[in-house]
């Protein structure tokens, strides 16, 4: 073979390789701007090779055609079964496409072959979790034993511990993950919820505040933060955060109810009335607590007729609301002029709850009945 002919063969080979590289570069450019169908057309015209099949698998997956993506992964693995990154991608796509038994079988084999590979263990844990298999957590524990900084596995363990009220364990896993990544939003959220569940609100608040700093604004975060401030009697901060929660969902009855109570505590009775009425209008289930709170606001405003009206509504919703029945007697005592009428409201309360009810309220009701009887007696004597 002449030297010229050898050079010619090398030239043709280089041209072919160059064309192949150019086509895949073009397909990648199309993929980058979201033109998946066009990228597939260009890549499909390229010479069949491992690089082409991998590109096609990526493009088909991005376009949502998981079956064709899996076919291309299988073509690569048929020639090179030890290509672990491809095996990992293939297994993840099996799980994503809903083929859980096949994904389970694949990752079970991988964890046996590579028992110290944390990624394979984690994927197997995810598959078990999707299959409602109770062994999922054992796999996540194994992941953390292999890689104590594995953020996703630590989150899974912390979340499960919180769900089962194992608060010490939940805090431990969160702190372990946050040592490596202090800005892990998922772990910050679990840690904040753990402290809230433990009623350690002073520790919960900084975690919720940190989530807001990281851009995790949501009705859930603002409501949780507001409640924490409420519990430590930081009422202005609680009001601010409940108001922020309303910007996400302005028809949340619980938020309006909380604001109604908070405004009453801070002396803004008009706003208290507004939010409690909103809560009642929105809520579709028994609202005796809301009616009672609104009545107490009217009581503070010395609008005893309105207070009586909403206390009656509270008792219609829940005839066994002892506080509403007692407060109704007080409102009647302040509203009606007739002493017998006023006394009868207290007697109605005592007939139902004496002696099984609240000792403090029963004591006050008895004393008031005694006082009214004296007033009636004095009034009768004055007539003689």
pLDDT digits (tens, 9 = 90+) for 66-94: 999 999 999 999 998 889 899 999 999 99
Closest listed residue to residue 274, CA positions, set 309, 250, 245: 250
- The per-residue b/e assignment along 93-118, b for 16 or more CB within 10 angstroms, e otherwise, is bbbeeebbebbbebbeebbeeeeebb
pLDDT digits (tens, 9 = 90+) for 212-267: 999 999 999 999 999 999 999 999 999 999 999 999 999 899 999 999 999 999 99
Residue 156: what are its φ and ψ, rounded to 5°?
Answer: -60, -45
pLDDT at 141 over 90: yes
pLDDT at 382 over 90: no
For residues 35 and 315, give the distance between their C-alpha atoms in angstroms, rounded to a whole number. Answer: 64
pLDDT at 104 over 90: yes
Closest listed residue to residue 73, CA positions, set 60, 26, 64, 63: 60
Closest listed residue to residue 241, CA positions, set 261, 259, 263, 260: 259
For residues 33 and 26, give the distance between their C-alpha atoms in angstroms, rounded to a whole number. Answer: 11
Contact 195, 201 (CB under 8 A): yes
Assessment of whether the complete model's pTM goes beyond 0.75: no
Each domain of the chain, given as residue ranges in start order, spans: 150-216, 233-283
Q: Please, what CATH class does the domain formed by 150-216 belong to?
A: mainly alpha
Kindly give, in sequence order, each residue whose CB lies less than 8 Å from that of residue 377, ignoring residues fewer than 6 positions away: none
**Are domains 150-216 and 233-283 of this chain identical in fold?**
yes
Averaged pLDDT score across all residues of the chain: 90
Structure tokens at 15: 């041209």
Q: Domain 233-283 belongs to what topology?
A: 1.25.40
For residues 142 and 136, give the distance between their C-alpha atoms in angstroms, rounded to a whole number. Answer: 10
Provide the pLDDT confidence category of residue 7 given band limits of 50, 70 and 90. Answer: very low
Contact 296, 269 (CB under 8 A): no
More confident residue, 366 or 21: 366
pLDDT at 15 over 60: no
Q: Provide the pLDDT for residue 24.
A: 72
């Amino acid at each position: 073979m002449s030297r010229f002919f050898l050079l010619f063969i090398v030239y043709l080979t280089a041209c072919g390789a160059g064309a192949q590289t150019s086509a895949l570069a073009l397909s990648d450019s199309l993929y980058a701007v979201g033109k998946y169908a066009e990228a597939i057309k260009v890549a499909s015209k390229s010479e069949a090779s491992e690089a082409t099949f991998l590109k096609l698998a990526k493009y088909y997956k991005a376009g949502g055609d998981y079956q064709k993506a899996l076919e291309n992964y299988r073509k690569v693995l048929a020639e090179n079964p030890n290509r672990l990154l491809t095996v990992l991608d293939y297994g993840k796509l099996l799980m994503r496409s809903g083929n859980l038994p096949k994904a389970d079988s694949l990752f079970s084999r991988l964890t046996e072959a590579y028992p110290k590979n944390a990624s394979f263990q984690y994927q197997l844990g995810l598959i078990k979790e999707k299959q409602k298999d109770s062994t999922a957590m054992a796999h996540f524990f194994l992941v953390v034993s292999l890689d104590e900084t594995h953020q996703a596995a630590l989150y899974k363990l912390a979340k499960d511990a919180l769900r089962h009220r194992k608060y010490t364990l939940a805090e431990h896993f969160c702190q372990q993950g946050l040592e490596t990544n202090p800005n892990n939003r998922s772990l910050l959220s679990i840690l904040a919820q753990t402290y809230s569940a433990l009623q350690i609100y002073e520790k919960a608040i900084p975690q919720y505040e940190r989530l807001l700093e990281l851009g995790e604004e949501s009705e859930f975060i603002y409501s949780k933060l507001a409640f924490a401030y409420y519990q430590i009697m930081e009422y202005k901060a609680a009001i601010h955060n409940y108001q922020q929660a309303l910007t996400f969902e302005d028809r949340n009855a619980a938020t309006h109810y909380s604001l109604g109570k908070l405004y009453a505590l801070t002396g803004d009775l008009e706003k208290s009335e507004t939010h409690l009425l909103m809560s009642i209008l929105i809520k579709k289930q028994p609202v005796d607590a809301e009616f009672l709170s609104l009545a107490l606001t009217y009581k503070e405003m010395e609008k005893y007729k309105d207070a009586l009206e909403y206390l009656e509504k509270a008792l219609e919703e829940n005839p066994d609301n002892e506080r509403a029945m007692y407060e109704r007697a007080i409102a009647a005592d302040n509203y009606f002029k007739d002493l017998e009428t006023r006394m009868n409201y207290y007697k109605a309360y005592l007939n139902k709850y004496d002696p099984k009810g609240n000792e403090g309220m029963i004591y006050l009701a008895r004393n008031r009945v005694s006082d009214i009887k004296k007033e009636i007696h004095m009034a009768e004597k004055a007539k003689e």
